[in-house]
A and B are shown apart, each in its own frame.
Chain A
Amino acid sequence: MFHLSRKDQIKLAIFALVVVTMPIWLAPLGAAYPGLMQKFAIYAIFAIGFNILFGLTGYLSFGHAAFLGVGSYTAVWSFKLLTMDIVPALIFSTLLAGVFALVIGFFSLRRTGIYFSILTLAFAQMCYSLAYSVLTPITNGETGLLLARNDPRVIDEALGAGTVGGAGLPTPALLGNTVSGYFGFYICAALLILAFFISQKIFASPFGLALRGIKSNQTRMIYTGFNIRPYMLAAFVISGMFAGLAGGLLSVTDPIAGAERMRWTESGNIVLMTILGGVGTLIGPVIGAWVIEYFENIFSAINKNMLNAAFDFLPDGVQNLAVTVLSKFVGEGWHLTLGLLFVLIVVFLPGGLVEGYLKLVARFRRGRGTKPEAGGK
Chain B
Amino acid sequence: MNAFLAQLLNGLDKGGAYALIALGLTLVFGTLGVVNFAHGALFMLGCFMAVTFRYLITIEKVTTDPTQLSPWGQPLEVRAPIVQDWLGDFGLFLVDYSVPFSILLTIPVMLAIGIGMERGLIKHFYKRTHAEQILVTFGLAIVIGEIVKSIYGPNPWPQPIPSDLRSAADIGRWLGMEPNTLTYPWWRMIYLMFSLGVIAAVFAFLRFTTFGMVVRAGMADREAVGLLGINIDKRFTVVFGLAAVVAGVAGAMYTPLLPPNYQIGMDFLVLSFVVVVVGGMGSLPGAVLAGFLLGILQSFASMTEVKSLIPGIDQVIIYLVAVVILLVRPRGLMGRRGVMEG
Report if A and B touch in the complex (beta carbons < 8 A): yes
Question: Complex: how many Å from CA A193 to CA B83?
Answer: 66
Which residues of A309-356 have CB atoms within 8 Å of chain B's CB atoms? 328, 332-333, 335-336, 338-340, 342-343, 346-347, 350
Which residues of B148-163 have CB atoms within 8 Å of chain A's CB atoms? 149-150
Question: Complex: how many Å from CA A133 to CA B316?
Answer: 10
Question: Complex: how many Å from CA A187 to CA B266?
Answer: 36
User: Do residues A60 and B131 form an inter-chain contact, with CB atoms below 8 A?
Assistant: yes
User: Do residues B312 and A264 form an inter-chain contact, with CB atoms below 8 A?
Assistant: no
Question: Complex: how many Å from CA A342 to CA B135?
Answer: 8
Tell me whether A125 and B140 are in contact in the complex, defined as CB-CB below 8 angstroms, given that A112-B341, A115-B341, A336-B150 are known contacts: no
User: Do residues B136 and A336 form an inter-chain contact, with CB atoms below 8 A?
Assistant: no
Question: Complex: how many Å from CA A170 to CA B84?
Answer: 65
Tell me whether A350 and B142 are in contact in the complex, defined as CB-CB below 8 angstroms, given that A107-B323, A112-B342, A125-B319 are known contacts: no
Q: Which of B149, B150, B277, B342 contacts A118 (CB 8 A)?
A: B277
Question: Complex: how many Å from CA A115 to CA B35?
Answer: 12
Tell me whether A118 and B341 are in contact in the complex, defined as CB-CB below 8 angstroms, given that A335-B142, A347-B124 are known contacts: no
Decide if A368 is an interface residue (CB 8 Å cutoff): no
Residues of A contacting B: mostly:
helix
Contacts of B315 in A (CB 8 A): 126, 129-130, 132-134
User: Do residues A134 and B312 form an inter-chain contact, with CB atoms below 8 A?
Assistant: yes
Question: Complex: how many Å from CA A132 to CA B314?
Answer: 12
Decide if B171 is an interface residue (CB 8 Å cutoff): no
User: Do residues A135 and B312 form an inter-chain contact, with CB atoms below 8 A?
Assistant: yes
Contacts of A376 in B (CB 8 A): none
Decide if A300 is an interface residue (CB 8 Å cutoff): no
> From A271, which residue of chain B is reached at the shortest CB distance?
B135
User: Do residues A118 and B136 form an inter-chain contact, with CB atoms below 8 A?
Assistant: no
> Which of A114, A117, A121, A275 has the most chain B CB atoms closer than 10 A to its own CB?
A114
Decide if B327 is an interface residue (CB 8 Å cutoff): yes
Decide if B121 is an interface residue (CB 8 Å cutoff): yes
Question: Complex: how many Å from CA A129 to CA B271?
Answer: 13
Contacts of B5 in A (CB 8 A): none
User: Do residues B143 and A339 form an inter-chain contact, with CB atoms below 8 A?
Assistant: yes
Determine how close the nearest CB of chain B comes to the CB of A333; give it in whole angstroms: 6
Question: Complex: how many Å from CA A6 to CA B273?
Answer: 47
User: Do residues A107 and B327 form an inter-chain contact, with CB atoms below 8 A?
Assistant: yes
Question: Complex: how many Å from CA A287 to CA B323?
Answer: 34
Determine how close the nearest CB of chain A comes to the CB of B142; give it in whole angstroms: 3
Determine how close the nearest CB of chain B comes to the CB of A251; give it in whole angstroms: 24
Decide if B222 is an interface residue (CB 8 Å cutoff): no
Decide if B226 is an interface residue (CB 8 Å cutoff): no
User: Do residues A343 and B323 form an inter-chain contact, with CB atoms below 8 A?
Assistant: no
Determine how close the nearest CB of chain A comes to the CB of B291; give it in whole angstroms: 15
Contacts of A268 in B (CB 8 A): 138
User: Do residues B274 and A118 form an inter-chain contact, with CB atoms below 8 A?
Assistant: yes
> From A115, which residue of chain B is reached at the shortest CB distance?
B326
Question: Complex: how many Å from CA A319 to CA B124?
Answer: 37
User: Do residues B131 and A58 form an inter-chain contact, with CB atoms below 8 A?
Assistant: yes
Decide if A123 is an interface residue (CB 8 Å cutoff): yes
Decide if B130 is an interface residue (CB 8 Å cutoff): yes
Contacts of A336 in B (CB 8 A): 142-143, 146-147, 150
Decide if B100 is an interface residue (CB 8 Å cutoff): no
Decide if B206 is an interface residue (CB 8 Å cutoff): no
Contacts of A332 in B (CB 8 A): 149-150
Tell me whether A339 and B326 are in contact in the complex, defined as CB-CB below 8 angstroms, given that A115-B340, A118-B277 are known contacts: no
Contacts of A112 in B (CB 8 A): 341-342
Determine how close the nearest CB of chain A comes to the CB of B113; give it in whole angstroms: 16
> From B136, which residue of chain A is reached at the shortest CB distance?
A346
Decide if B204 is an interface residue (CB 8 Å cutoff): no
Decide if A122 is an interface residue (CB 8 Å cutoff): yes
User: Do residues B135 and A346 form an inter-chain contact, with CB atoms below 8 A?
Assistant: yes
Q: Which of B149, B150, B320, B330 contacts A111 (CB 8 A)?
A: B330
Decide if A21 is an interface residue (CB 8 Å cutoff): no
Decide if B108 is an interface residue (CB 8 Å cutoff): no
User: Do residues A264 and B270 form an inter-chain contact, with CB atoms below 8 A?
Assistant: yes
Which residues of A66-109 have CB atoms within 8 Å of chain B's CB atoms? 107
Which residues of A124-157 have CB atoms within 8 Å of chain B's CB atoms? 125-126, 129-130, 132-135
Decide if B6 is an interface residue (CB 8 Å cutoff): no
Decide if A119 is an interface residue (CB 8 Å cutoff): yes
Which residues of B39-55 have CB atoms within 8 Å of chain A's CB atoms? none
Determine how close the nearest CB of chain A comes to the CB of B190; give it in whole angstroms: 30
Decide if A176 is an interface residue (CB 8 Å cutoff): no
Which residues of A255-288 have CB atoms within 8 Å of chain B's CB atoms? 264-265, 268, 271-272, 275
Question: Complex: how many Å from CA A268 to CA B327?
Answer: 24
Contacts of B169 in A (CB 8 A): none
Which residues of B127-144 have CB atoms within 8 Å of chain A's CB atoms? 128, 130-132, 134-136, 138-143
Contacts of B147 in A (CB 8 A): 336
Decide if B75 is an interface residue (CB 8 Å cutoff): no
Decide if B322 is an interface residue (CB 8 Å cutoff): yes
User: Do residues A343 and B136 form an inter-chain contact, with CB atoms below 8 A?
Assistant: yes
Contacts of A121 in B (CB 8 A): 270, 273-274
Interface residues of A (CB under 8 A from B): 58, 60, 107, 110-115, 117-119, 121-123, 125-126, 129-130, 132-135, 218, 264-265, 268, 271-272, 275, 328, 332-333, 335-336, 338-340, 342-343, 346-347, 350
Residue pairs across A and B with Cβ atoms less than 8 A apart, 20 shown, are A107-B323, A111-B341, A113-B340, A113-B341, A114-B35, A115-B340, A119-B323, A125-B316, A126-B315, A134-B311, A218-B342, A264-B270, A268-B138, A335-B146, A339-B146, A340-B143, A342-B138, A342-B142, A346-B135, A350-B128
Interface residues of B (CB under 8 A from A): 35, 121, 124, 128, 130-132, 134-136, 138-143, 145-147, 149-150, 266, 270, 273-274, 277, 281, 311-312, 315-316, 319-320, 322-323, 326-327, 330, 340-342
